[in-house]
Amino acid sequence: MNLLDSIAIAIRALRTNLLRSVLTTLGIVIGVASVIILVAVGTGASSEVDKQIKALGTNMLVVFPGSMRVMGRASGAGTDIPLSETDVAGIRDKIPGVVAVSGQIDDSGPIVRGNANWTSSLNGVHAEYTMVRDWPVVSGREIEPSDVRTGAKVVVIGDTVAKEVFAGENPVGATIRIRNVPFEVIGVLAAKGQSVMGRDQDDIVLIPITTARLRVSGRSQVQNDRVGRIYVKVDEGADIDEVQEEIESLLRQRRRTRANAEDSFSVRNLAETMKARSEVLTTLSYLLAATSVISLVVGGIGIMNIMLVSVTERTREIGLRMAVGARRRDIMLQFLVEAVSLCLLGGLIGIAAGVSASAIIAFAANWPVLVSPSVLGGALAAAAATGICFGLFPARRAARLNPIDALRSE
């Protein structure tokens, strides 16, 4: 008896007790579906984290005014002495490994062009801002140092603003009004998509920081040359942790912070924050993986149990097959194929359930979920391996039956 004969006999045996066969495979179904959902969600989460890190900018540090005690009673960001242009210059000139530095003043307001009126984020920045954020201009030109030095009334707009205000027209060279001040659009940024907090990063207008202080946000009564926060791009060959320590040391000296006093600023590596979030997701993935393995083991035990019952029910059939010439390995192969077939049935149902559940999660949570053919193949292989492992004992038991005793059984 060859393998094809064993498969045909196994299919007939499973069809004879179809409901029992399907119920037996529930553990395999749950295990395989869990594996697919786990890998799909985990892979999607990793790709999203990588995307967000790239959107933030690589090798980037952000300096905020005010303390940032994560486990303290409250966050003090932005409540202390503002950062200034001299802080930007100090970081640029005195810290080795720094490639580019830019301040950023945040504001928001309406953008008007003809009958179009759109409220957007207004950001005063230095000329190096797009370099720091790895954010290229796809049309027109970037803000230049001369624009910042002279306080030019020019802007670079994001992709969303270009679509909403200009509706398909070329915005470069056009004039918009921000708080009744005319600005010339000199460039359009590449699309970045949503941030990790769900904010549309492309709904933005970049203005020379000096122009923003004079004509948009207004001067600070505390610091005339305030820069809000500072973005720092670090050379790829430099140690970003060492650069962070040197920036902290420089700012403590500049702000005359006492040795035991809390810093009046904070320096954060946003990429590290995103990686920490990714590590949390990885830990959760391990927990889900353990659950999936347990489900497969429970399913395998169920398969072994039902196969032992099947051996008992078909003892006379086994004796008859041996009497007409079936070898012990033929009997063993027959029951092993039945066990694997049961697991593959559960695997196919589990794949269908896992892919469907992943699609529902992606739709409901608006979260990227990636299901690859290799994952489906691996899940099906895991189901088959479970059938082999837990079907081997019942198959060997059937093969070791004495033909005479098997024929005498009722």
**Residue 102 above 80 pLDDT?**
yes
Q: Are residues 228 and 281 in the same domain?
A: no
Domain assignment of residue 71, yes or no: no
pLDDT range class, residue 271, cuts 50, 70, 90: low
More confident residue, 201 or 76: 201
The whole-number average pLDDT for the span 45-50 is: 65
315 and 396 inside one domain = yes
Q: Which of 201, 236, 263 is the last residue of a domain?
A: 263
**Res 40: pLDDT:** 79
Task: Specify if 93 maps to a domain.
Answer: yes
How much is the average pLDDT of 65-92? 67
Same domain, yes or no: 85 and 45:
no
Domain limits for position 27: 3-52+275-408
Residue 218 lies in a domain: yes
Which of the four pLDDT bands, split at 50, 70 and 90, describes residue 263?
confident
- The model's confidence at residue 71, banded by pLDDT at 50, 70 and 90, is very low
H, E, C per residue of the chain: CCHHHHHHHHHHHHHHCHHHHHHHCHHHHHHHHHHHHHHHHHHHHHHHHHHHHHHHCCCEEEEEECCCCCCCCCCCCCCCCCEEHHHHHHHHHHCCCEEEEEEEEEEEEEEEECCEEEEEEEEEECCCHHHHCCCCEEEECCCCHHHHHHCCCEEEECHHHHHHHHCCCCCCCCEEEECCEEEEEEEEECCCCECCCCCECCCEEEEEHHHHHHHHCCCCCCCCCEEEEEEEEECCCCCHHHHHHHHHHHHHHHCCCCCCCCCCEEEECHHHHHHHHHHHHHHHHHHHHHHHHHHHHHHHHHHHHHHHHHHHHCHHHHHHHHHCCCCHHHHHHHHHHHHHHHHHHHHHHHHHHHHHHHHHHHHHHCCCCCCCHHHHHHHHHHHHHHHHHHHHHHHHHHHCCCHHHHHHCC
In terms of domains, do 147 and 255 share one?
yes
Q: Do 186 and 226 reside in the same domain of the chain?
A: yes
Per-residue confidence band for 406, with pLDDT thresholds at 50, 70 and 90: low
* Structure confidence at residue 157 (pLDDT): 95
The model's confidence at residue 195, banded by pLDDT at 50, 70 and 90, is low
* Lowest mean pLDDT across 271-275, 356-360, 400-404: 271-275
Kindly state whether residue 209 falls inside one of the protein's structural domains.
Answer: yes
> What is the pLDDT of the chain when averaged over all its residues?
80
Same domain, 222 and 280: no
Residues 21, 161, single domain; the answer is no
User: What is the pLDDT, as a whole number, of residue 9?
Assistant: 67
Question: Are 255 and 384 in a shared domain?
Answer: no
Q: Of 216, 239, 263, which closes a domain?
A: 263
Q: How far is CA 237 from CA 136, 250, 381, in A?
A: 22, 21, 43
Number of domains in the chain: 2
Residue 173: per-residue pLDDT: 92
Q: Is the same domain home to 245 and 305?
A: no
From the number of C-beta atoms within 10 Å of its C-beta (0-12, 13-18, 19+), residue 345 rates as buried
Predicted local confidence at residue 225, as pLDDT: 84
pLDDT at 74: 42
Structure confidence at residue 280 (pLDDT): 65
- Banded pLDDT at 76 (limits 50, 70, 90): very low
Share of the chain above pLDDT 90, in %: 26
Structure confidence at residue 6 (pLDDT): 65
Please give the pLDDT value at position 384: 84
Domain boundary, last residue among 241, 263, 285: 263
Q: Are residues 160 and 246 in the same domain?
A: yes
The answer on 318 and 396 residing in a single domain is yes
pLDDT band at 182 (very low <50, low <70, confident <90, very high): very high
Segment among 196-200, 235-239, 267-271, 323-327 with least mean pLDDT: 196-200
Residue 364 lies in a domain: yes
Query: Residue range 325-335: average pLDDT?
Result: 77
Whether 308 is covered by a domain: the verdict is yes
Higher-pLDDT residue of 304 and 232 is 232
pLDDT bin (cut points 50, 70, 90) of residue 100 is very high
Report pLDDT for 72.
43
- Residue 67 in any domain: the answer is no
CB atoms within 10 A of CB 217: 21
User: Is 60 exceeded by the pLDDT of residue 146?
Assistant: yes
Q: What is the mean pLDDT of residues 140-150?
A: 94
Segment among 14-18, 232-236, 251-255, 258-262 with least mean pLDDT? 14-18
Q: Does 179 have pLDDT greater than 80? A: yes
Looking at the domain assignment, is residue 298 inside a domain? yes
Q: Do residue 101 and residue 209 come from a single domain?
A: yes
pTM exceeding 0.85: no
Model confidence at 313: pLDDT above 60: yes
